[in-house]
Amino acid sequence: MKNAVPEIGSPARTKAILNRYHLVAKKSLGQNFLSDLNILRNIVAAGDVTEQDNVIEIGPGIGALTEQLAKRAHKVVAFEIDENLLPVLDETLLDYNNVKIINEDILKVNLPEVVKDEFEPGHPLKLVANLPYYITTPILMAVLQSTVDFDAIVVMMQAEVADRMVASPGSKAYGSLSVVMQYRAHVEIAFDVPRTAFIPQPNVDSAILRLTPREPLPVNPYEDKALFSFVKGCFAHRRKSLWNNLQGIFGKQPEVRERIESVLNQTKISRQLRPERLTLINFIELTNAFHNEGLM
């Protein structure tokens, strides 16, 4: 009578699993379990997951999203830090022989090595996850900076963070996170998720972010790390002009100011602009020009 058991992500089954294992969601690990089957299926659809795909999941929890992924993907490898959840996952995912759970902190994992060891080559690779919110940005930065090439990344996060990641120049939410993410990938919000879809309910609403490989840029920075730290420096005081922020980064000595001015003239960027007006291309051009000027 296996068919009678509702899927893991239904509210009734989620509650039953939490009760059966006496699980209390750990706030410190960002444990909010998604219990809405439509939303779970829509996340998998946003990643266009097919039987060809290898999928990495971060934080399977009690296995709600993992189950939906396992039903459609070729293989799923999921990293879960909380060892108390391992016996739960053993039972909830018993029927799926294409799932491997790895009990590790995603921030300490050597992702390229896991991909090489766990997946047969020749399949598209996707990352699909309901991320632990307290480390959303470090996880995405680590993933995007690793040498692993994902065909798609579909991740749930706090709506406010997703808004910052997709923000355009000139908007209030635009900042260093927008520039860095948009440098790495094409970033879009797939759909919003209300807080009521979780057990326990978080204090914030969520959104599903989809990242796909971006088209090549007309100009590239001489070094990624230099671009990132330059962008961060430019947004240190977002209410101040670019001119002020640049002096904050490079110094105020008359000789340095002259060189800053020369770079602004070369790149034809006004010193009066606030950093939030600069595009990704502006930031890349400035990074390269300051490098050529010997300031970086």
Task: Give residues in contact with ligand SAM (CB under 6 A).
Answer: 29-34, 58-61, 64-65, 79-82, 105-107, 130, 132, 135
Q: Are strands 152-158 and 198-199 parallel, antiparallel or unpaired?
A: unpaired
User: Cα–Cα distance between 180 and 140 in angstroms, integer?
Assistant: 11
Nearer to ligand SAM, 210 or 278 (CB): 210
- 61 and 18 Cβ atoms separated by less than 8 Å: no
Q: How far is the CB of 47 from ligand SAM (least distance, A)?
A: 14
**Closest by Cα among 284, 278, 285, 279 to 245:** 278
CA distances from 63 to 76, 162, 219, 235 (A): 11, 24, 43, 39
Nearer to ligand SAM, 88 or 280 (CB): 88
Nearer to ligand SAM, 159 or 260 (CB): 159
Nearer to ligand SAM, 120 or 203 (CB): 203
Chain residue whose CB lies nearest ligand SAM? 59
Q: How far is the CB of 232 from ligand SAM (least distance, A)?
A: 23
Which helix (H) or strand (E) segment holds residue 56: the answer is strand 54-58
- 106 and 35 Cβ atoms separated by less than 8 Å: no
Q: How far is the CB of 114 from ligand SAM (least distance, A)?
A: 13
Nearer to ligand SAM, 81 or 153 (CB): 81
Q: How far is the CB of 180 from ligand SAM (least distance, A)?
A: 21
- 156 and 207 Cβ atoms separated by less than 8 Å: yes
Q: How far is the CB of 134 from ligand SAM (least distance, A)?
A: 7
State the CB neighbour count (10 A cutoff) for residue 55. 31
Q: How far is the CB of 79 from ligand SAM (least distance, A)?
A: 5
Nearer to ligand SAM, 81 or 177 (CB): 81
Contacts for 161-168: CB closer than 8 Å, 24+ residues apart: 161/133, 161/136, 161/137, 162/189, 162/206, 162/207, 162/208, 162/209, 163/189, 163/207, 165/209, 166/209
- 272 and 243 Cβ atoms separated by less than 8 Å: yes
Nearer to ligand SAM, 99 or 284 (CB): 99
Q: How far is the CB of 182 from ligand SAM (least distance, A)?
A: 25
Please list, in sequence order, all residues whose beta carbon lies within 8 angstroms of the beta carbon of residue 2, skipping any fewer than 6 positions away: 95
